[in-house]
């Protein structure tokens, strides 16, 4: 039976900070209503400004044969020489083979087999020809049609320099490096080995977009590095690195890509890893606003800017509308490997028809090979599990371990987030927004009492294991950065001194090295985990990475204020009108900008002001990795009730929209800020109802 989309209450999201009334607004009616720009560690907002490759390449590049530029390399003279050595038919076959490689399809090009040859000396001359003239190709010998002859096989040389082949020790030691090491062997020493570019995407998941680019380049997904995945139903811009590629080659793909663009190329020395960002900048437009008055909107917006919101993990964290990742995490913590695999592969509501068909086919037939043929490449977790089951039927633990590590750890992290959300709700229900005895805080220099060494924070979001924590981050891209601080429980002296405020309160993500509050909130973790058949103090199996006792844990602030928060009311007459310019719009000035009349502009302080320039503002988004595709919210026109309220008149000429611009640190969810503002659910099911 297909799983239904989860609701906010299912994952512990149940409280608000303020008691102000909400109002009606449509989130993501158009995907361009949700714009996300990554912010790097220097505080620079990542904005696409150019689609062109640099006009000049760094000095020192040498062609080694593989086409790493956007222009095909000519081998006419080599093929002509080869024709005199091997004959016209083999020369034509080789010419076609090289043409396919130069078109960017290295991974999809199969080796070629030349004509049978019984002359050993002639075969030796052929081998030497390739070594001297076509070094990017390698040759070996296979059996011919009869016992007296052999054939030379030609294939692309994709191995490392001095490698002895795919079984070499060097290749085995490469392990799970965050990039595919194929590239030019003659890469100049003065040029960084990684090409960084800005990835701009519309209504696509990060992994899906990179999968498309990887297929066109003929490289594996692990060739790419990025700091965090961005929302699917949105317009997003983020940094990506790729190993040993040329800008011209990537820029040449832009004309063939739909909803994806690459630009702002430069070479860097290191690949991007998950978590290497400060946050994201959001520009969110809520359409179809229906409120009692403009004052209602103003009061709610000002309250959000002043008091913030409960820093819940949003529904995206749990595979909203698709796989309930926290349930998979619970199964892993219990050691129920087959159940975890079933939850990953089983049918669920709201997915694309082709994917739903593939899931149903596997559920009914258990045909691994047939299902793999139907699943697209960006279904990384599902394909990894099925590939492993194809090789080792029934070995469910091995199948789970075949999922890329940062991706499979998302399941456990989701369960930690599930416990955290419930604890945060209980904290607000029981104590409100007052600091109380036993609350956990980061220790300040002038505070007193017992302190414990900080394990992690909402900036570290380590939550990883204790044996490989260099860059193992959630697929969602929570930032890893050690903070030199301590954690303590608030005591009476702290309350009297006023050293701490409600903004300082933190709660732990369960792990072996975290402390829990010394008040009633600690019981929430234990009671909920016990209900799920999980112990937070001892392992239930011997697989370390899926054991709560081997996961470090971390801390997260309970309340979060949006940074550089501003709002603006707009009027529009056409639901298809785009109200905010995207990065690509700014590049393509040939398209006229939609005419939008500002109604009013406000700030967190309630002051009227000019619409602010977001170019250099720090912002943030949900940088959580998603195992499944985020279910799309339907984008058709929203029909609102014709109430005699702001935005609810019978007029077909005027609608109200609320434009919000703000910054959040990495791993904070903009949807939770919107939830506090509107006092409505952010679930897919709720917004689908608004579309009916």
CA-nearest of 21, 4, 39, 37 to 580 is: 37
Number of Cβ within 10 Å of residue 603's Cβ equals 17
Active-site position among 33, 90, 205, 231: 231
Q: Helix (H, G, I), strand (E, B), or coil: what is residue 674? A: helix
CA-nearest of 550, 522, 528 to 538 is: 550
CA distance 249 to 217: 8
CA-to-CA separations, 108 to 103, 237, 539, in angstroms, rounded: 11, 29, 44
Are the CB atoms for 292 and 259 separated by under 8 Å?
no
Number of Cβ within 10 Å of residue 36's Cβ equals 23
Backbone angles phi, psi at 570, to 5 degrees: -125, 155
CA 691 from chain centre, in angstroms, equals: 27
Q: Do strands 224-226 and 655-665 pair parallel, antiparallel, or not at all (unpaired)?
A: unpaired
Are the CB atoms for 243 and 129 separated by under 8 Å?
no
Name the token pair of 365.
Answer: 């037939």
CA-nearest of 96, 101, 381 to 217 is: 101
> Is 10 a catalytic site residue?
no
Helix orientation angle between 380-391 and 337-345, rounded to the nearest 10 degrees = 130
Are the CB atoms for 509 and 418 separated by under 8 Å?
no
Helix/strand/coil (H/E/C) assignment for every residue in 607-639? CCCCCCCCCCCCCCCCCCCCCCCCCCCCCCCCC
Which region holds residue 614: left if phi is over 0, alpha if psi is between -120 and 50, else beta? alpha
Q: How many CA atoms lie within 13 A of 662 on its CB side?
A: 33
CA distance 504 to 376: 45
CA 274 from chain centre, in angstroms, equals: 9
Q: Helix (H, G, I), strand (E, B), or coil: what is residue 554? A: strand
Which residues are tagged catalytic?
Answer: 231
């Amino acid at each position: 039976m297909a799983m239904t989309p989860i609701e906010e209450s299912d994952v512990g999201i149940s409280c608000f900070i303020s008691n102000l009334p909400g109002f009606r607004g449509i989130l993501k009616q158009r995907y361009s209503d949700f714009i996300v720009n990554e912010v790097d560690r220097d505080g620079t907002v990542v904005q696409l400004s150019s689609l062109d490759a640099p006009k000049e390449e760094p000095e020192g590049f040498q062609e080694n044969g593989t086409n790493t530029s956007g222009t095909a390399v000519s081998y006419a003279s080599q093929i002509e020489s080869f024709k005199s050595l091997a004959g016209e038919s083999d020369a034509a076959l080789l010419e076609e083979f090289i043409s396919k490689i130069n078109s960017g399809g290295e991974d999809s090009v199969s080796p070629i087999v030349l004509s049978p040859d019984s002359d050993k000396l002639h075969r030796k001359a052929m081998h030497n020809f390739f070594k001297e003239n076509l070094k990017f190709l390698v040759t070996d010998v296979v059996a011919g049609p009869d016992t007296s002859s052999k054939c030379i096989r030609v294939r692309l040389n994709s191995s490392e320099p001095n490698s002895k082949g795919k079984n070499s020790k060097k290749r085995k030691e490469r392990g799970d490096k965050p990039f595919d090491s194929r590239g030019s062997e003659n890469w100049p020493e003065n040029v960084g080995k990684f090409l960084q570019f800005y990835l701009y995407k519309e209504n696509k998941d990060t992994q899906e977009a990179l999968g498309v680019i990887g297929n066109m380049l003929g490289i594996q997904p692990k060739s790419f590095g990025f700091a965090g995945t961005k929302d699917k139903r949105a317009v997003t811009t983020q940094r990506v690195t790729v190993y040993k590629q040329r800008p011209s080659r990537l820029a040449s793909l832009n004309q063939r890509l739909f909803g994806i663009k690459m630009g702002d190329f430069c070479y860097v020395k290191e690949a991007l890893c998950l978590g290497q960002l400060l946050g994201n900048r959001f520009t969110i437009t809520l359409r179809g606003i229906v409120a009692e008055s403009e004052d209602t909107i103003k009061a709610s917006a000002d309250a959000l800017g002043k008091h913030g919101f409960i820093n819940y993990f949003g529904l995206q964290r749990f595979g909203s509308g698709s796989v309930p990742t926290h349930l998979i995490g619970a199964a892993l913590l219990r050691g129920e490997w087959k159940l975890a695999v079933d939850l990953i592969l089983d049918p669920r509501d709201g997915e694309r028809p082709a994917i739903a068909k593939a899931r149903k086919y596997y559920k009914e037939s258990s045909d691994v090979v047939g299902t793999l043929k139907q699943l697209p490449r960006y279904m990384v977790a599902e394909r990894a599990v099925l590939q492993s089951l194809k090789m080792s039927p029934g070995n469910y633990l091995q199948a789970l371990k075949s999922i890329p590590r940062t991706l499979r750890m998302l399941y456990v992290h989701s369960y930690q987030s599930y416990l955290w959300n419930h604890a945060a709700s209980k904290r607000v229900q029981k104590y409100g927004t007052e600091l109380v005895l036993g609350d956990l805080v980061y220790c300040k220099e002038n505070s007193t009492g017992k302190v414990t060494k900080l394990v992690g924070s909402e900036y570290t979001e380590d939550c990883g294991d204790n044996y490989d924590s260099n860059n193992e981050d959630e697929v969602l891209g929570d930032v890893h950065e050690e903070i030199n601080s301590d954690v303590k429980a608030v005591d009476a002296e702290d309350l009297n001194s006023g050293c701490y405020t409600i903004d300082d309160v933190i709660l732990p993500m369960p792990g072996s090295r975290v402390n829990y509050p010394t008040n009633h909130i600690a019981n929430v973790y234990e009671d909920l985990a016990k209900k799920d058949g999980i112990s937070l103090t001892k392992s239930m199996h011997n697989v370390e990475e899926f054991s709560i006792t081997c996961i470090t844990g971390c801390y997260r602030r309970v309340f979060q204020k949006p940074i550089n928060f501003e709002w603006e009311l707009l009027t529009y007459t056409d639901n298809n009108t785009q109200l905010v310019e995207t990065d690509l719009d700014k590049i393509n000035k040939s398209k006229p900008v939609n005419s939008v009349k500002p109604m009013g502009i406000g700030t967190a302080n309630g002051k009227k002001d000019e619409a602010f320039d977001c170019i250099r503002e720090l912002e943030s988004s949900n940088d959580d990795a998603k195992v499944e595709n985020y279910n799309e919210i339907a984008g058709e026109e929203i029909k609102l009730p014709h109430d005699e309220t702001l935005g609810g008149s019978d007029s077909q000429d005027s609608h109200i929209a609320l434009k919000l611009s703000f910054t959040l640190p990495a791993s904070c969810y903009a949807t939770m800020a919107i939830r506090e503002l509107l006092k409505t659910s952010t679930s897919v099911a709720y917004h689908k109802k608004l579309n009916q």
